[in-house]
Amino acid sequence: MDLSVVIPVYNEEESLPELTEWIAKACTGAGLSYEIIIIDDGSSDRSWQVTSGLSLRNKNIRGISFRRNYGKAAALHTGFSLAQGNVVITMDSDLQDSPDEIPELVRMIKEEGYDLVSGWKKKRYDPFIKRFTSRFYNFTARVFSGIKLHDFNCGLKAYRSEVVKSIEVYGEMHRYIPILAKEAGFRKIGEKVVEHRPRKYGTTKYGLDRFVKGYLDLLTIAFITRFGKSPMHLFGSLGTLMFIAGFLMAGFLGVRKLWYVSNNLRAPLVTDSPWFYISLTVMIIGTLLFLTGFLGELINRNSPVRNDYLIRERINA
C-alpha cells in the first residue's frame, strides 16, 4: 500500500464527510493506493457514528474510538501502530489542512528521499495568541534541536513508514516529532509550504494550558535523548561537583580555624559563619544528586529496552 492517512478526531462530526471525500479524491487522482485511519479521541459528539457510516461507504476507511479523551499524541501513536502504508501522512480533522498537498508530500518522501517532511503554514488563520505562542515554540525548538523547521507543530506531516514505527509519541510530544525522529537516527528532515485554510466548522481546541505542557515536554525530550541511557552522567557529575564545592568551603573554614589557633588568636566559632551551613547544604544536595543518578542507573539496568537499537539494514545477518 502506498499511503496511510492518520487523522486524530475530537468533536469534528461536521467536517469528517467532506474531509474523507477530499482525501479519497486527492489519492485516487494521483494513482495512490491508500487507507484512512480515523482515531476518535473520546469525542462527545457524533464523530464516531459519522466515522462508522463513512467506513460502510468507503472500505479504505478504518477507525478506533477511545473511551475518553487522551490527547493528540495518544491518537497519533495508535494510528502509527495501525498504519500499513509505505508513507504515513498525518493531518488535522478540522479542514484547515488541505488534502491536495498529499501527492507532493508523498513524492518528496519517495523520490527525494526525505525521512520526514513537515508542513509550514506560512500564512495562518489562527487567533493571535496561538500564532504568537507558536512562533515562540518554534524558535525554542529550532535552537534546542538544530532542525531548521519553521513550524514544528503543523498537523500536516509526511513520514517514511520506518520513522513512525521507530518512535514513541506520548504526553504533548506530538509537537516535537521531528526531534524524536532526529534522535532516532532519521536525519533527512525537510519542510514544504502548505495551505492553511480558515476553520469551517466547530471551534479551536487550543488552550493556554498547552503552552506550559509543551515546554515541560521539551525539557523531557532534552533529558531523555541526552541522558536517558546514562542518567549518572548528568546527576553524578552535578552531584560530584556540588559535593566538592561544599567540601572546599567547609575545608576553608577548618583551615581558617586552625590558623587562628596556631597563632594564639581567639578563633571565631565555625558555626557562627553562614558558609558553614551553606557548605553542609551543598554537600547534602550533591550527595542526593549522586544517589539519584545511581538509582537511575539501577532502574535503567532492569529496563527491557536498555539494549534496543534501531537497525537500518542487514547484510548476511
Residue 238 has pLDDT above 60, yes or no: yes
Residue 64 above 70 pLDDT? yes
> What pLDDT is attached to residue 22?
95
Q: What is the percent of the chain where pLDDT is above 70?
A: 87
What's domain 3-227's architecture? Alpha-Beta Complex (3.90)
Retrieve residue 311's grid coordinates: 537497525
> What integer pLDDT is reported at residue 310 of this predicted model?
54
Measured over the CA atoms of residue 158, residue 162, residue 163 and residue 164, the dihedral's sign is positive
Highest mean pLDDT among 32-41, 169-178, 228-237, 251-260: 32-41
Q: Rounded to two decimals, what is the model's pTM? A: 0.74
> Contact at 8 Å (CB) between 138 and 150?
yes
**Confidence band of 21 (pLDDT split at 50, 70, 90):** very high
Fill in the DSSP letter of residue 268. P
- pLDDT single digits (tens) 278-293: 999 999 999 999 999 8
pLDDT for the residue numbered 132? 73
Task: Mean pLDDT check: name the lowest of 26-35, 37-46, 139-148, 303-312.
Answer: 303-312
User: Grid coordinates 498547552 are at which residue?
Assistant: 210
pLDDT of residue 313: 59
End-to-end CA distance of the chain: 27
